[in-house]
Structure 1
Amino acid sequence: MESMKLVDGTSYFSCGDGETVIFIHGVGLDKSMWGGQVAGLAKQYHIIGYDMLGHGDSPEPQSRDTIEAYAEQLERLIKGLKIDKPITVVGFSMGGLVARAFALKYPHRVARLVILNSVFNRTEQQRRNVLLRCKDVEKFGPGANVNAAIERWFSQEYRGANPAQIDAFTQRIITNSKNGYLHTYKLFGESDNHGVSKLNGLDVPTLVATGELDIGSTPEMAHGLALHLPNAKVIVLEQQRHMMPVESPQIVNGMLLRFFEEQKLKNQTKETLQEFANGA
């Protein structure tokens, strides 16, 4: 896995060969969360993961930055890497919101879109709960709600079997920059309906997936979001919680590979039919 920084400071890794798939992490995490996806996909795809603004080794967001600034960060990364062909964008949780914003702002860049364990059209109570957690972070820093977050994200069995990894995730959250974490968390709390009126014009193949037991990014949210996307399918993975890419990488990777291959086959069929029509 290769790690480096671009001129604008965005930290990323790049590995594997084939079509490019870019992964976007969630609030409080960083590019290291995608180790299971690298292990399962890098033999077939060119995998890139990067740190969002305010996370890992990337720059802090500016005080007035909206979610579009996070989409613009990804555009600068793609330009810096000189990637010309349309890519697949996979966004997890907050990264799913960034992926949506990116696809709306730069649709020519996106061949496929995957939104994992993300949020849409929260109830007032759900939105209030997130913003209350933001107030706790303002007072006590990134570690304010870390234990409750870990319990929501991972199953009890996984936490018991993988204490070192759970501790690493806990430390990752606690050691975040307070300002970067808080700014991003507020956007996460407020941006679940970003661009909703434009989503019906986003005609790219889209997979919206979450876990059956994900109480923050619910199956209802996944189905609701997909209704606004003209070319979307929904998958709800049984018995999975929020951190399913980490807790169950083989299951998630299998789902991603099937989706990628389905879209490749559809594209090949379209090309064949077009060639036939042109020849006729």
Structure 2
Amino acid sequence: MSRQRQRSGRGQPLVLLHGVGLDHTLWDDLAPLLEADFDVLRYDLLGHGAGPAIEGLAHMPDFVAQLDAELDQAGWSGAHVLGYSMGGLIAGAYAAARPQRVKRLILLSTVFQRTADEAQAVMARLAAAATQDVQAAAAISLQRWFTPGFQAARPERVASIERRLVQNDRANFLAAYRLFAEGDQVLANAAPDIACPALVMTGGEDVGSTPRMTRGLARALPDGRARVIDGQRHMLPVEAPAIVASALQAFLLPQGAELSA
């Protein structure tokens, strides 16, 4: 297995797309809970981890093409696709552009139609990231992403996410972050063309991918449903992997397909 991707488990094909500034190890807590039912593929997005570098500006079609290549390499004509945060923008854009390749779609902690204040705040974070000390910037992100209880109970896991943030190549990170910061209309544009069933989830205390966004996105999708996890912030795959795994099993497995039809 390469440093850029990991594949494990058996069952229905499922692709996991991480968020900005992270890599495929984001899924280390969730993937083991899925491997009994799914053939799980996770890989580093362009400009992240061991993934190919971003040359200049980041463009959504390049991430769509990367997912095409990953599915081809896996030998899959199609798969369930889960996107987290920025990965959710990619997953949604992909489902609209390649409807024949996405069986079911999960959008986890994903932004949708930021308010003017929310858009201003994320652009301010982008501007700060260009000049701020990376350690200080990482600490601010971790405070927003994790609940205080998890930070106290699992400091080693929080530290592993911090190391990933600090180690990022700044030019690649800023290119990806700009795409994320300016991308809150991506799903508004893509939603009418996403025909497959979709599950949209976020944490009840997520200030970046808010419950309002999640419910609005689910309503905008032709076949969408929303779920908000009380007491959680942005890091659902790390803080609440059992809850996410249970939701995925209910939504993706045959009995779930019958219940949610």
TM-score tier by shorter-chain length is over 0.9
1:134 counterpart (108, 126, 143): 126
Q: Contact (CA 8 Å) 1:137, 1:144: kept in 2 or not?
A: no
The residue that corresponds to 1:38 in the other structure is 31
Deviations 1:21-47 (A, max 9, x none): 000000111100111222101011100
The residue that corresponds to 1:275 in the other structure is none
What are the within-5 Å matches in structure 2 for residues 169-184 of structure 1?
A: 169-184=161-176
State the identity %. Answer: 33
Q: 2:14 matched to 1:21?
A: yes
Amino acid paired to 1:34? W
- In structure 2, the CA distance between the partners of 1:27 and 1:263, relative to structure 1 (3 Å rule), is farther
Tell me, in whole angstroms, the C-alpha distance in 1 between the residues paired with 2:119 and 2:130: 17
Greater relative contact order (CA < 8 Å, ≥ 6 in sequence): 2
Tell me, in whole angstroms, the C-alpha distance in 2 between the residues paired with 1:261 and 1:94: 25
1:48 counterpart (11, 24, 41): 41
Tell me, in whole angstroms, the C-alpha distance in 2 between the residues paired with 1:51 and 1:243: 18
1:4 counterpart (2, 5, 9): 2
Tell me, in whole angstroms, the C-alpha distance in 2 between the residues paired with 1:170 and 1:265: 37
Tell me, in whole angstroms, the C-alpha distance in 2 between the residues paired with 1:154 and 1:216: 12
Deviations 1:70-120 (A, max 9, x none): 121111111122212x21000000110010111111111000000000100
Larger radius of gyration: 1
The residue that corresponds to 1:80 in the other structure is 73
Tell me, in whole angstroms, the C-alpha distance in 2 between the residues paired with 1:222 and 1:175: 30
Tell me, in whole angstroms, the C-alpha distance in 2 between the residues paired with 1:251 and 1:147: 26
Q: What is the TM-score when the length of structure 1 is the normalising length?
A: 0.88
Q: What is the TM-score when the length of structure 2 is the normalising length?
A: 0.94
Tell me, in whole angstroms, the C-alpha distance in 2 between the residues paired with 1:203 and 1:255: 20
Tell me, in whole angstroms, the C-alpha distance in 2 between the residues paired with 1:265 and 1:206: 11
Partner SS, residue 131 of structure 2: helix
Q: 2:154 matched to 1:156?
A: no
- In structure 2, the CA distance between the partners of 1:78 and 1:142, relative to structure 1 (3 Å rule), is farther
Tell me, in whole angstroms, the C-alpha distance in 1 between the residues paired with 2:79 and 2:85: 19
The residue that corresponds to 2:221 in the other structure is 229
Amino acid paired to 2:101? R
Amino acid paired to 1:147? A
- In structure 2, the CA distance between the partners of 1:262 and 1:126, relative to structure 1 (3 Å rule), is farther
Q: Contact (CA 8 Å) 2:200, 2:214: kept in 1 or not?
A: yes
Tell me, in whole angstroms, the C-alpha distance in 1 between the residues paired with 2:37 and 2:2: 22
Partner SS, residue 75 of structure 2: coil
Amino acid paired to 1:29? L
> What is the aligned length?
261
Tell me, in whole angstroms, the C-alpha distance in 1 between the residues paired with 2:12 and 2:135: 38
The residue that corresponds to 1:57 in the other structure is 50
Q: Contact (CA 8 Å) 1:222, 1:234: kept in 2 or not?
A: yes
Tell me, in whole angstroms, the C-alpha distance in 1 between the residues paired with 2:13 and 2:149: 34
Amino acid paired to 1:230? P
Tell me, in whole angstroms, the C-alpha distance in 2 between the residues paired with 1:57 and 1:30: 8
Runs of 5+ consecutive residues of structure 1 not aligned to the other structure: 6-10, 271-280
How far has the Cα of 1:62 moved from its partner? 2.0
Q: Which stretch shows the higher mean deviation, 185-194 or 67-76? A: 67-76
Runs of 5+ consecutive residues of structure 2 not aligned to the other structure: none
Q: Contact (CA 8 Å) 1:137, 1:143: kept in 2 or not?
A: no
1:219 counterpart (191, 198, 211): 211
Tell me, in whole angstroms, the C-alpha distance in 2 between the residues paired with 1:123 and 1:258: 32
Tell me, in whole angstroms, the C-alpha distance in 2 between the residues paired with 1:107 and 1:141: 41
Q: Contact (CA 8 Å) 1:136, 1:144: kept in 2 or not?
A: no
Tell me, in whole angstroms, the C-alpha distance in 1 between the residues paired with 2:230 and 2:132: 35
Partner SS, residue 80 of structure 2: strand
Q: Contact (CA 8 Å) 2:249, 2:256: kept in 1 or not?
A: no
